[in-house]
Amino acid sequence: MSDTTTTPKLSVSDVAAHLERGDVFLLDVRGSTGKQQIYGAINYDPKKLRSASKLVLPLPKSDGLIVLYDASGDSRDLETIAEKLRADGYASIYALEGGFDAWDAAGGRIEEATIEQPVPLVSEHQIAR
């Protein structure tokens, strides 16, 4: 991983506007989500995302934005996972500036936390294809 952050950040208001348009996918990578998450987010374990040999998530590779968020918007997991997603062909990767804390403080829509989604396992045979 590089020492500099290369993943662009989107503000709470920008993410809210994208949610209104329906062209964003939110990935909650806090590890421990607590009782709430941003409305419509998909919850993944950051350790499993980091350790997967290849990420094949049910997300579009070129249409729509993928916005990652953690608690405060500054964990190293965000950059590591963003780099991994880009390497596996996902194009529009962003991080939520200020993370869940900023979203919640701004009064953004939240919901009860959903069940953590499994990270699909990919075999070496599938990677070679």
Q: What is the pLDDT of residues 9-67, one digit of tens each?
A: 999 999 999 999 999 999 999 987 678 999 999 999 999 999 988 888 888 888 889 99
Beta bridge partners of 25: 66
pLDDT digits (tens, 9 = 90+) for 87-124: 999 989 999 999 999 999 999 999 999 888 988 876 44
pLDDT of amino acid 74: 85
The domain in which residue 48 lies consists of 9-128
The answer to whether residue 56 sits within a structural domain is: yes
Report the SS3 class of residue 3.
Answer: coil
pLDDT of residue 33: 67
CATH of the domain at 108: 3.40.250.10
pLDDT for 115 equals: 84
Residue located via tokens 């590890």: 31
CA distance 42 to 33: 11
Q: How far apart are CA 42 and CA 88, in angstroms?
A: 18
Q: Is residue 93 part of a domain?
A: yes
Alpha carbons 129 and 123: distance in angstroms, whole number: 10
Looking at the domain assignment, is residue 2 inside a domain? no
